[in-house]
A and B are shown apart, each in its own frame.
Chain A
Amino acid sequence: MNRAPVTLSSAFPRAQPRALDGETELAVAEAVAAGTTRPAKVTAIIAAMYERLAEKPVDRETARAVSAAGREWLLQRAARRFHAAGDWFETSCSGCGARFDLSLSIDDIPRVAPGDGFPVVDIQTSLGRRAFEVPNGAHEEAFARRPDADPLRTFAALCGLSEQAEADAIHFDRNDLVRIDEALEAASPEVADSVAALCPECGLQARVRIDPLTFAFPRPEEVLQEVHLLASGYHWSERAILALPVSRRRDYARLIQAERGAPYATRRH
């Protein structure tokens, strides 16, 4: 008897974003700054940024149920709402250490539609026919808690729909694990999360990650600084200030700073 798959059947679910007010921004900022694993941060950000996913109200469980590729795609879309700067990026060569620039549009990051049977694959293994669901956020979070574990075997245990999936994962041979990996890749949607960059100095071609968590989202102190400015200037409550749309809150903060004669520190977003 197999358990039911948890992964959302929509690979790139129709997403209804929340209004970008202070509450949302602070929740995202706190999620990014939290001392948790990356998948847990992504879950928190998706839960904070989206009202509904595939017509379902969003909470952390819903955010976890989205496929790994779908989550990355939602994260990139959320990043685009904050990171309105240009498309020029920079990185450093892992070979020679030289810094170089490259142009990239986050809006145009390629993605691949899911394969047949998504989100479930059925595979013949050495232990018999086994069903697996495409990796989702919950699997990512679980794997992130065990970084030293073998990824193939761990995901085989996590994604297996069989009641004895954990035991099977221990007994799968290498061929089984490769076959499971290939089957899951074929059924899974995909979104690019890295680019191949050629170092202009040494000519080394390296894979560079596109991780919006490292640059796109605000930091809590930036949000709180503006809350503090408005609270001290207008004596509004924190709740009232955080209920303001981000752009309006920023305008008020700029006005207060201008009145006090201090230049407003331009936010990176």
Chain B
Amino acid sequence: MSFITRIAERSAPARNTLAPKGFARRSAAPADQPANHEEEPRAQPLRRQEEQEEQMQALRRQEEEEEMQAVRRSSPQQDDQMQTLRRQAEEEEEAAAQPVRRQAEEEEEALQTVRRAEGEDEDEERAQALRRQEEEEEALQTVRRSEQADEEQARALRRQEEEEEEEALQTVRRAEEEEEAAQPLRRDAGGQEKDQEQAQAQAQAQAIRRQEEEEDLQAVRRMTGDPASLDPDNSPFPEEMRDEPEPSALMALRREVAAPPAATMPTRPFDPGWSDGEGLSPTAGDSFARPSVHIDQLDVLIEEPSGAASGAGAPDRSRAIRTRYLRRI
């Protein structure tokens, strides 16, 4: 092959070329290259023909362009005419296209307006739904809050009732205990009449006590408006205490709790009986009597400092009231 032929061949697209291993299968060959090795051999002549045609077309285009340039160079007037005609044609096309374009723009604007309106409606609906949801949640929370308040109130009431019941029960229990403690005494006293008298006396004393307490309470209630008036030293001296002597600095009060029992003391001191075989036997039966203890006197010693806070000659009213109260007890 001659030198010029080789150069000419190099200028043409390669027929049979090398490709990196795997490259032909991975990517397509460039547009003007025939190097698709996986192509069927039958297709190669066709492809070559196509390539030649493409090349010819490219050349033709180039030649036409060159010719056009030559023509343009040789006949500037013709070129001007061509340009004028081209411009005229463009203007006509532009004029024809403008109404169509305007119509299309108007339609697009209308569509956009509709879309915007739809979008706003959707937003409004979404906002309303959210608002509704929030309102429902608030209502639910209010209901829950009121239920909680009711529940707390009910719990407080229940607690109060329970406390009151507990207090009542305690009172009853205390009364029963007192009653139980008093019953042997009463039984030992042996006289039903005395019991009745004692009960009557107790009832009277309780009634008097209740009345006095009530009076005191009323007085206190009257004076609750002025806390200072609660101080006995500030209050007027009661009329009924006018003749009572001033209590001494140390005074013992003696009170007879109950009438002294008439039962005779056991002849023998209490003996369980199992120490020496004498005394009460477990089988003594009716002859067994429970030993009892009688408290016939209760001494109460109340010690309190003399009224240093009060004036020298002024009566110590609070002390006098307390003394009177204790004297009654």
Residue positions of A touching B, CB distance < 8 A: 32-33, 35-39, 68, 72, 83, 85-86, 88-92, 94, 97, 99, 101-102, 104, 135, 140-141, 143-147, 151-152, 154-155, 178, 180-182, 184-185, 188, 193, 195, 206-211, 213-215, 219, 268
Contact = CB atoms under 8 A, between A and B. Distances in A.
A184 B5 CA distance: 12
Contacts of B54: 35
Given A36-B58, A214-B29, A185 B16 contact: no
Contacts of A135: 4, 7
B16 A209 contact: yes
B32 A90 contact: no
A38 B30 contact: no
Contacts of B12: 38, 144, 147
18 contacts: A38-B32, A68-B7, A85-B20, A90-B19, A90-B24, A90-B37, A92-B37, A94-B16, A140-B10, A145-B63, A147-B52, A151-B8, A206-B16, A210-B17, A214-B33, A215-B18, A219-B30, A268-B26
Given A89-B20, A91-B18, A206-B16, A68 B10 contact: yes
Contacts, number: 132
A209 B11 contact: no
A83 B27 CA distance: 14
A102 B18 contact: yes
B17 A91 contact: yes
Contact of A188 (B3, B11, B23, B26): B3
Contacts of A140: 7, 10-11
B55 interface: yes
Interface of B: 2-5, 7-8, 10-24, 26-27, 29-33, 35, 37, 41, 52, 54-55, 58-59, 62-63
Contact of A268 (B11, B16, B27): B27
A207 B20 CA distance: 17
Q: For the complex of A and B, list the 3 residue pairs with the smallest distance between their C-beta atoms, beginning with the closest.
A: A185-B3, A151-B8, A209-B14
A91 B55 contact: no
A130 to B, nearest CB: 15
Given A33-B30, A206-B16, 11 more contacts: A36-B58, A37-B11, A88-B20, A91-B17, A91-B19, A104-B18, A135-B4, A140-B7, A145-B62, A208-B16, A209-B14
A91 B14 contact: no
Given A35-B58, A152-B2, A181-B2, A90 B30 contact: no
Given A37-B55, A135-B7, A208 B13 contact: no
B55 A215 contact: no
A185 B23 contact: no
Nearest to A183: B3
